Amino acid sequence: EPEVTQTPSHQVTQMGQEVILRCVPISNHLYFYWYRQILGQKVEFLVSFYNNEISEKSEIFDDQFSVERPDGSNFTLKIRSTKLEDSAMYFCASTSGTVNSPLHFGNGTRLTVT
């Protein structure tokens, strides 16, 4: 069964550095998402992406964050200047696009900001 893949599985970075988290969604899916999960807390929506542009974003997704689909397969999340509170598990997800279609998640990237 096709799956969403994320790299790296774990990223350690220093405060103020830029990081790029990478995702390859399922190939025939149309909607792409980033969620994050701070340790012990709920899974929080960051941003959704459709037709090569952001369709919705949460208040968490401020100017430090950006997303790109640079080619036909990759979907990236960039954090421009990381803060300690950005430490979390970041999940990429994709779906075919109907409202009752479940999201397919990657295994996540654990970001640790020191």
Partner 1 sequence: AQSVTQLGSHVSVSEGALVLLRCNYSSSVPPYLFWYVQYPNQGLQLLLKYTSAATLVKGINGFEAEFKKSETSFHLTKPSAHMSDAAEYFCAVSEEGGSYIPTFGRGTSLIVHP
The residues that bridge with 113 in the sheet, in sequence order, are: 13
28 lies in the site for partner 1, by CB under 8 A? no
Tokens 């640079």 correspond to 70
Is the Cβ of residue 10 or residue 80 nearer to partner 1 in the bound state?
10
Peptide bond into 8 cis (omega under 30): yes
Q: For residue 15, what are its two tokens?
A: 């405060």
Is the Cβ of residue 31 or residue 75 nearer to partner 1 in the bound state?
31
Do residues 49 and 69 make contact, with C-beta atoms less than 8 angstroms apart? yes
Count of other CB atoms within 10 angstroms of residue 64: 14
84 lies in the site for partner 1, by CB under 8 A? no
Do residues 86 and 111 make contact, with C-beta atoms less than 8 angstroms apart? yes
Is the Cβ of residue 4 or residue 19 nearer to partner 1 in the bound state?
4
Choose one: 13-21, 63-71, 80-88, 105-113; the region binding partner 1 (CB under 8 A).
Answer: 105-113
The residues that bridge with 44 in the sheet, in sequence order, are: 36
- Binding mask 36-75 toward partner 1 (x if CB under 8 A, else -) reads -----xxxxx--x-x----xx-------------------
Residues that bind partner 1 (CB under 8 A): 4, 6, 31, 33, 35, 41-45, 48, 50, 55-56, 91, 93, 95, 97-108
